Structure 1
Amino acid sequence: MKLPSGRKKLNFLNNNYALLPFIVLLYGCDNTPDRTLSPPQNAKWVDVVFTLPADTVLLPMEVLYRSDKCKTVRYNSSNEPHNIPGYNDFEKPFGQQGSSNIWRTHIAIDGGGPCLWQLNSIKVSFKIADGNPLVKGKEVFATNYIFDFDDYGFSDGYGTGKAKESRGDLHIKTDFFPLVTHRDENDISLEFFGGETGYEKWRRRYKLHDTQKIFIEPNVHLTKVVTLIPPDQTEDRDFSAIYPDGNTEKIPYIYPNYKKLLSMK
């Protein structure tokens, strides 16, 4: 039977209003994806355990989930829109295990929720404590580890190097040395140096497969300070490194000789 035009309009409105709760559930009132996480009972989890060296501070873990269900619009160089997986990023603090130097947290790989969030990447960072005398008058940079569970995670701008493949549980031990870099009189930075991450063996970024536990155990040699001094002449681009034993040498770029530092630990 042919419906009157008013009935047709009413059915059309009813059908569309029936979709509204679903749309609101996924995107909320401001057209952003619903970031609710609700891991299913059979979700896989990853434990992250960090052994914190003395006189250092562990920062909250940065977490990035992506969703193929709740897309995000991006524009290319021609200002043409295209859809990419949605983002869900937040910080998750570690919990200290009693009064020990062991800190732990865990995160679900399958985040669930209305958008079916999937863990993309996590970033673990630590730095020298503000109360250490080395900090005075310097800009302090954190040392980072990045662990990727999928592609297109955090950017490469965190000094970790490119991701290297890893399967199963991961136990990372790295020797670090305080690195003081003088660029000019009012520009002095402080960070931990654990080898040039351009080389694979010293990278601190991993593409993980079938990983349930990540153990990070840095060994910081706080008294073994290496200092970088800029060149005296503008045509000379090489910095000079002053090593903990007092020896000085010209270095390429701003990377001291890590093998030499390891021999002094």
Structure 2
Amino acid sequence: MMQSEFSYKNPKTLLNKGTGYLSGYTHSLNPYTGCSFGCSYCYVRQMPVSLFRKGEWGTWVDIKLDAAELLRKELRKAKAKGKVTIFMSSSTDPYQPIEYKERVTRSHLEVMVEDPPDFLLVQTRSPLVRRDIDLLLRLGDRVRVSMTVETDLEGIRKVFTPAAPPINARFKTLELLKEAGVPTQATIAPVLPSSEDFPKKLKPLVSRVCVDDYFMGDGSGGKRTKKLGVRTLYDQLGLEEWYEPSAYRLVVDRLKQVFPEEQIYLSQQGFEP
């Protein structure tokens, strides 16, 4: 496992304008810069935030200081101008391991509970989100947790995202969020090789599934991902057919056998407020 280097930074701004893939949101919010999950296929590896750093993506994380105070001011300002919808987060996991100690994400939620945006999407693959169920419940239907489960096969997870949390821990977290009454979706993004039973495992946990892949979801029609050389992982496993622009259809067809069609969302529409 790669060791991450941590540093503390004073951000000038936290709320960034929602653009491109996130144009359905007024703002994106990243509690950290960098992400120690360091997933092999992460499109952020190809973005300036990563390309201009010395260390490889996954080996460094910047922790934002006094973030709650700054967010409080920026949120107030943004709300004075009109509707505010926030995607947290677009280029880091808000619940990566350092959050256990630093609680930057929790401090953001505390601010938003006091002064709620119109809508908040929390995008994560970490079971740590369950720690904040108390705050998420206070946001009511203004929040949705989007839990990434790209596959139901732990062996596949270990190949593509060795530093990310185990799949079963994510299933358990979806169960706990549902029991608590937090609005939640399972996000199969990117589509990784999975079993035929995957939809059956999700059925008791969620009533909303979003499917996305490299070709729809990396903001460049799959070009960013291609540069990362992820294809070789599929070749090594002899699963090349899963690295095709049409592979997601197999997963969608399997989902349709278990979920009503209106509960299945594709790419961008699944993340919209």
TM-score normalised by L of structure 2: 0.24
Higher helix share: 2
Specify the structure having the higher radius of gyration (Cα).
1
